Structure formats: structure tokens, C-alpha cells
A and B are shown apart, each in its own frame.
Chain A
């Protein structure tokens, strides 16, 4: 999950000044103050950087690891037109 994790670390460092060392697989989104809006932004950032297209009805992850697994599972899916 290195690519995805680095994207998330870089985004959260820039936006929320969160130490990248805290962004690990088991870290809980709630404890990182990542609310539903921030989660949307994170998914958007991952879509942009990885050139993937996530569906509208994504499950709501509770941890960094769950979020990255969702993205990885769709990473090779073709982008919608």
C-alpha cells in the first residue's frame, strides 16, 4: 500500500499538519479528526493521483488501512467516461 499511504500522508500533513508517522494502517480516522468531508477529499485526492474512479456508494472505512484497501481494490478498474 506504499503509493496510497504516501499520498494520504502527504495530504494530511499538508491539510491538517498531521505527523506522517501517525498515518499507519491501524490508525483510526476518527482519532485523526478525519470527518466525512475530509474523507471525501481524501478519496478525491487518491482518485486524482492514482487515476482511478471510485463508485458513488463506497463503504465508510474506520481506519487508514480500510480506506486504502477500498482504493486498492478499485485501482485497476476502468474510469467511467
Chain B
């Protein structure tokens, strides 16, 4: 029999610079942390809308000795994980062995800056060698390894690289380990830093980056909008502590929500073109896993990247699963405010979903005036937060390049139905 899984801690690094309550208040207010981002890189500086955690000083937050052994994505991830670990009631300096607790972390890109620094040294700066830390800074399991080492997590140390679904897959697979009895607790989430020169240029080359300048970057990302123009890259991190339900109850933990179900499917059709059928199967799998019917769902935090192909496919999938009830289903794309944090984005959106149920306040899709006719048929939350609906159960969707779909079903039964 499947064991219930509680969410007992959350943490994130806010691009606004404040704590997660402050971050969520910005989300409810429809306020974007997208800004115009420029660099002095050669041969052509970057100039694009982006989300940066520019007030995050890793040396100050983590200490120089630790931060210097991590690339930016791991620094962000570790900071978020440490906050979640503390939020769940654990001492972040306790490295004693905990063999019933593991890590499951998502990152699409890993230590991009470490590799790019090496390439610059070799090919731009005429050096013969790169830093001896390059491998351990760059490897995709660096963030999870640091967490396991610092917190003494001996159950498992797993990393998932599934493009934009990385964090949701990491969270879902962590949930499954607990549900199946393979672990009592899992520290999970995701982090990424896609703003290094080569990676940003690569995304630009795909022609999916929204344009923007100093005046209008703040509203560059407009999911489901008739005038949407593409996605916005962002660096970020968020973490959750998952825990077997009775384990959490016995130790007196504060249960923030239940991770009730998870669906993971593969489109097996195209590298970048989403397939509605694959998304439908993922949503239906999450519902079935959580023993929920479509009518039980009160909110969907959409993947909603604001690309031409992705948004209509996701809405079509929701219409298919929810049928006539889709018209009343509250849906929002919070990437309009926090951008697309790649392998972190599913974790950030899971934390937003947990907080939305806790506070009975559903964040809007920002900056949208007219919904694309191809994206109609659901209840888009526009113009401000939707409060007081009594929302108890929500889905958080992640649909990645490569056709990897991951859907989380999150519930909070403490609110009156």
C-alpha cells in the first residue's frame, strides 16, 4: 500500500531579495522580477529580459569556504535546501548520519559557469590549464552531493536532468521513494543558472526568448496571451522536504501540504514540439496516483512558458482531461513573474502552489490583456490574485523539451471545503 507523503519544509532563493513570504506576496500582486539584463561579453554582449538573484551573495550566505567549492547553481540550490531543511525543523549544522533520508535534486544544466570559465581560460585567455575544481564544480550532481554531505543524508543522492521538468521529476521521484517505503524523508527541489554567455546564446538561437529592453522587460513574459513573445530565462532555486506522513506526525512536524500524486510520461514524438497526448497522460496519471477525480482540482499552476507552441498544447491537454469543467478551472502561469528557471522552475512553482493552498490565494498570470483564442477554455486568473475560493487540491505542471512530462498533485485538507 502506498504511504502518504507530507511536505514539511520549503525554501527558495527569491530574485526579489526577500524571504519566501515576500516572494509569494509579489506573486499574488502580479509583480514581476524580470529585468533587462546586459553583459559586457565578447564578441556580442547579452541584452535580454532575464531573472537574476542578484542580491544573493553566496559568500555571505554560505561562507567563503563552502561557496568556493560550488558553482552558482549549487550555491543557489544549497541555500534553498538549507532553508527548507530548517523550515522542517532540522539543524543545518548537524552532519550526523541519517540513513533513512536522501536527496533528489533537479538541474537541467548543472555547473555551466565552471565549464564556461574553463573554455574562456583555454580558448580566450590562452591558458593551458583549467582550475582543478572544474569537474566538481561543473558536475550535475554537485548540488545534491553538497546537501548530502552537509546534512548527513545517507539514503540516496540522486540528480535528475530532464530539461524544464528536472525539478518536478526530482520531487516526484523523491515522493515515490517515500511512498514505496525506500526512504522516510527526502530533501528535494531544483536549481539552475542559465544566464552564462554560451547557454543564453544557445537559447537565443532557438528563437524562443522574449524580446525586451530597459523599459518593457518587466512584462516580457506573457503566457497564454495573444501577444506572447517567448520565454524569459532565470536563475533560481527552490527546495522541499518530503516526509512519510506518520513520521512527520510522530515528530510533531508542521505539515504544510500533502504531495498526493505524481505523473511522469514521455511524448516520444519530438525534441521541442509538445504532444498533447503525452501531457494528458501525465495529468491523468497524477490524478489517479492521488485517487483524485478531475472535479477535485481547484487550481493548476501551469507550465506556461509563453512560447507559441507550448501554451496552446497545455491548455488543450487541460481541456481534454477536465472536459466541460475546464471552463471553471482556475489556471495561472507564474513564469510571467519569475521567468523560466529551467531545472529549478518546477520546484519554485511547487512552492508557490503549496503557499497558494496554505493562504487560499491563487496567483495570477501577469501582463496579459487578451488571451490567445488557442488558449481559451479554462478560467485564466488575470488582473490579480484569486482569493477565498477554498482551494484544497492543485496540480503543478512541468512539460519539458525532449517530451518529458511531470505533474505533481498537491493537497491541503486543512482548509474548509
Contacts and interface: CB of A to CB of B under 8 A. Distances in A.
Interface stretch (A2-10, A36-44, A63-71): A36-44
B65 A41 contact: no
Interface in B98-150: 129, 131-133, 136
Interface string A37-79: 1001101100100000000000000000000000000000000
B57 to A, nearest CB: 16
B68 interface: yes
B133 A37 contact: yes
A17 B68 CA distance: 12
A44 B130 CA distance: 9
A16 B69 CA distance: 11
A17 B64 CA distance: 8
A43 B131 CA distance: 11
Contact of A40 (B64, B65, B132): B132
Contact of B69 (A14, A17, A37, A44): A37
A42 to B, nearest CB: 9
Interface size class on chain A is 10 to 19
Interface string B71-89: 0000000000000000000
Interface string A17-43: 100000000000000010001001101
A16 B64 contact: yes
Contacts of B129: 44, 47
B64 A41 contact: no
Interface in B127-178: 129, 131-133, 136
A78 to B, nearest CB: 13
Interface in B29-72: 64-65, 68-69
A39 to B, nearest CB: 9
Contact of A44 (B65, B68, B132): B132
Contact of B133 (A16, A41, A43, A47): A41
B65 A16 contact: yes
B64 A37 contact: no
Contact of B132 (A16, A17, A37): A37
Contacts of A14: 64
A33 B131 CA distance: 20
B95 to A, nearest CB: 14
15 contacts: A15-B64, A16-B64, A16-B65, A17-B64, A33-B65, A37-B69, A37-B132, A37-B136, A40-B132, A41-B131, A41-B133, A43-B132, A44-B131, A44-B132, A47-B129
Interface of A: 14-17, 33, 37, 40-41, 43-44, 47
Lowest 7 CB-CB distances: which A-B pairs, in order? A40-B132, A16-B65, A44-B132, A15-B68, A41-B132, A15-B64, A41-B133
